Structure 1
């Protein structure tokens, strides 16, 4: 994100609409991109819905780990539905305009659901930590009541802060261009359109990213540090292999989501690459929801067995 002071060349105006440029820089690929993203959206909906259904219906999957996985799949459906349908509409109609209210609403939901994903991934890491490092007390510590409280907390913790951040960003004065060089209303491209000194706004964004992204990420790293230490102390190779298999899927999702998100929001302010922002945003808004059901189903025998029983019925 850039921290710069812009001097407007014309009177400040309260913009009533923006233009999402999206992938307009490759006009010859518009229909190909529409077909590709529509296919991806359908796969995401089918894959994550399947994971959600089998974790609710199969008796063998009524454990905290799969309770969190079911909620995570539901979250992925919500998260991708905030951005992809709008992108598909823009590719289909080539209109690309979005009202300031719709833009603010989209940004707010992206931020809220993104925060929820950060917290939920941290909760899932904590669940694996208790299961592997403190197995005898696992049923007591991760009771159903505690699991529900952790999930509800993940969903609502970021709501007031992210609503406030959205209001604060869209209260800024804008001047000149209303072109957003992105495929959805994200913080970095919106701030580039603001006039005046936005240093305070940028610092607030950094602070929130540290609290809601870096802190959960560090807790995940701490959990897995203890998990790996415990795994290496297990007596048999079979036990170690089983423990690693239950954690590897989660680690892959963590790497995809946090890696792209942290780079996007905490890159040095001297860099200015809209193309890089778009690619990185694709990872945490589309690629992670796409790979989530594949990663957990292909690497998990319990999920495969539950899926076979569901298909058999």
Structure 2
């Protein structure tokens, strides 16, 4: 029997399938009765599962980051599909085809990594090209950069998501920059490459997605600024010239201002043409990815509209289904 992926499930469907336990929380309701709230995942998306009348013993049998066979029934709750779980059993990872849980396959990652290198090695400014090369030849950095997600929940929240987001953003920058002659397109491209580089150590992503201690205490913005400071010294060795101080400041400013607003956790507002462009294009790429996923995953209802999406504060029109 073929596998049922999360984005294929429908209301009232009986399910017995293996999923990754992306998150697990044992909670108590107002009456003090325990229940287990699960975040189930596969390569097609994630889903909330609720196991009522749970016990601490049941909770101890499974952990976040493990595979489990989950049995239950799909139903709508607040216009979103959930699974009412009746049984959950841990599964030996050796019995699992991990490609069922990888949003990006190895071939996709290799293709994106090649494109990243192409885009960076097209840069003609010797200092920017040397800086890019200092990162590209760092095998430890690149291994993390090609595996890390771009977020835990908000966007590109899957292994390889950071790479996919950055390449998409760099392509977007290449398309938009020529429309504004005052923008330095190569500086903008480097900003797109490095704006989220700190996430390689801010986040944890072996199986479940989460935050490292360093990520919780320092955050990816500060971490990326420090990375660039150190790599600028390596770039000097590659180019044989001192890295221009103002150029380094402009790159670091793009990093610290790419969230765009103080309310969004940005230490600084964008104050250069490149920083302003990076903020809006970064936000565009993230938001469009979120909408695409929402439309793809909201298949369990016959409604012409998706369920309400809290981060985007709206529903989206699906229209009529066509067979």
Give the structure-1-normalised TM-score: 0.28
Between Structure 1 and Structure 2, which shows a larger proportion of helix residues?
1
| Higher RCO structure, 1 or 2 (CA under 8 Å, sep 6+) | 1
User: TM-score, normalization: structure 2?
Assistant: 0.28
